[in-house]
Structure 1
């Protein structure tokens, strides 16, 4: 598979549709949750296309004036390890920097090891842990200086 992806601004409908195909998402957010979180704040929806198919996405919004929160993102299983997530993350970071943000934050669950490794490998630091009843469900908060 060639590592040629079109990264472009996407829609909530595209993201919700792709979320249904991500095995790690047991109960993907619906359009109303995206609308609620993105309404009235600087935000960005990015999608990655390959051969006219949306294969990944990254959604974020301003948490504070200096912090851009990378809220949701995923790549179809058959496109993982092919540079899609890296291309989406780089485009999101470039946008956030261009729009005056100093930091980018994300949160993942302890059981999602691939996401945790991806964030750490891309310069994020762990800045907090939210405990839950099950260790695998602990939320790991990460941050990167732009």
Structure 2
């Protein structure tokens, strides 16, 4: 799918996601190994999307069916800093949402932390509602669980 600005969204691989995540500052405190991705995605419905700009992978979004409540869990994603003004995160989220609806999911759930304010703002602007806050030792590490209904 061509999304303009020479950016294409396509199905990707775990290896591509790992390579992109190693270049994203927010993930520098801890990248997941390939085994973690495989464990999360094993024996479940999942979608891996990768954004390509000028033949270079510049962003990704991974989600999977985590709970048996009809929701799709959007687990991990990011865009390289140099490409963040091109609406790539929005395009990845839109494609994931379209796929989730087509697959019969009734909601998308995500978890973020207080320290990742751009992600929290992005979720709220995209129609997610805060469902639960999990306190941690530091307020910046509080987990915020959000849900967006796909069926009205």
TM category (shorter chain) comes to: over 0.9
CA RMSD of the aligned region, Å?
A: 0.9
Using the alignment, how far apart are the partners of 1:5 and 1:139 within structure 2? 31
Match of 1:117 among 101, 114, 121: 121
Structure 2 residue aligned with 1:11: 13
Structure 2 residue aligned with 1:92: 96
Structure 2 residue aligned with 1:24: 26
Contact 1:41/1:61 (<8 A) preserved: yes
Aligned pairs for 1:65-144 within 5 A: 65=68, 66-144=70-148
Contact 1:125/1:142 (<8 A) preserved: yes
How far does residue 82 in structure 1 lie from its aligned partner after superposition?
Answer: 1.4
**TM-score in terms of structure 2 length:** 0.93
Match of 1:35 among 28, 34, 38: 38
How far does residue 3 in structure 1 lie from its aligned partner after superposition?
Answer: 2.7
Secondary structure of the structure 2 residue equivalent to 1:78: helix
**TM-score in terms of structure 1 length:** 0.97
Aligned pairs for 1:39-50 within 5 A: 39-50=42-53
Using the alignment, how far apart are the partners of 1:72 and 1:132 within structure 2? 20
Using the alignment, how far apart are the partners of 2:126 and 2:25 within structure 1? 23
Using the alignment, how far apart are the partners of 1:88 and 1:5 within structure 2? 11
Structure 1 consecutive aligned stretches of length 4 or more whose deviation exceeds 4 Å: none
Using the alignment, how far apart are the partners of 2:95 and 2:6 within structure 1? 14
Using the alignment, how far apart are the partners of 2:113 and 2:6 within structure 1? 29
Contact 1:129/1:139 (<8 A) preserved: yes
Using the alignment, how far apart are the partners of 1:134 and 1:64 within structure 2? 27
